[in-house]
Amino acid sequence: MEENVLQIIFQQIINGLSLGSIYALLALGYTMVYGIIKLINFAHGDIYMLGAFWGFYVINEWHFNFIAALLSSMVIGAISGVTIEYFAYRPLRHSPRITALITAIGVSYLLENGMSYSFSSNTRSFPQVIKQHSFDVGGVLISNIQILILVTSCVLMVLLQVIIKKTKMGKAMRAVSVDADAAELVGININHTISFTFALGSALAGAAGVLIGLYYNSIDPLMGMTPGIKAFIAAVLGGIGSVPGAAVGGFLIGVLETFFQAIGLSAYKDAVVYVVLIAILLILPAGIFGKNVKEKV
């Protein structure tokens, strides 16, 4: 009996880590953009939807393999993110934050309804470009798809950390996040740095779209709405503005969601995530890895 309970727990941890790694990729986009320009980009979840649809198209029509579909979706995600930043957010950079926030919500609805109008709102079956196999490890079933999702997500997160910590553009991103005016004074191009941040975060969202298609086998134009909000909660949980925090927050939200499904409370799996958000804001307003910063009045 005790062994069965342990097997169930480990099974849900594996399921949760696979789903959580996708939330983590999305959360990284939220946290990077917020860290640079203090904007919560609510259109980010819809870039993930565009990545999924692009993966669906190139696998079906051009017979791309998984790697090619993933990389091309990352490129489409990056282009989408930079385009949205250039046309929707850049003109409002010096406007009140609420203006940019409302614009982000408007862009989100534009993308969702635009895709629904252009391609219908029907759910599509994502092509299984990789044949699924399951491995029995001590009574715990782990599929090759789960391993692939987890490994791909971790590799992308490590690469992101290397870019932020080791490259010239990464140093520019960190400088702008601390003090944009001072960064500009020492010769950093603010517009290029912000565009690069959007490209990087949106590329991860495009990759997450292909991974979620493999995970759930279905996509639709509204698929980015709920995961986008959950990824935002993951970013808040980890400490918005913190890259490691966003990754940890994504994994925690994924594990929490799968455990609630396992105990027969699937109907409440979304609600519990919002309860976590409220609890975190009450107990740890800055998140797990966030720092309390006092603003001058």
- List the domain boundaries for the chain: 19-119+143-283
Q: What is the pLDDT of residue 263?
A: 83
Q: How many CB atoms within 10 Å of residue 205? A: 35
The whole-angstrom separation of Cα 148 and Cα 130 is 10
CA distance 189 to 63: 40
Q: How many CB atoms lie within 10 A of CB 264?
A: 8
d(Cα 278, Cα 294) in Å, to the nearest integer?
A: 21
The burial of 244, by beta-carbon neighbours within 10 Å (0-12 exposed, 13-18 middle, 19 or more buried), is given as middle
The stretches in the chain having pLDDT less than 50 are 295-297
Q: Helices 2-37 & 168-178, crossing angle to 10 degrees?
A: 80
Over the chain, what is the mean pLDDT?
91
pLDDT score recorded for residue 297: 42
pTM for this one?
0.93
Strand, helix or coil at 124? strand
Element (H, E) at 137: strand 134-137
Q: How far apart are CA 25 and CA 150, in angstroms?
A: 11
Residue 140 exposed, middle or buried by CB count within 10 Å (0-12, 13-18, 19+): middle
Query: What is the rounded distance in angstroms from the CA atom of residue 232 to the CA atom of residue 201?
Result: 13
> Which among 34, 20, 22 is positioned nearest to 239, based on CA atoms?
34
pLDDT of residue 292: 60
Cβ–Cβ < 8 Å for 199, 81: yes
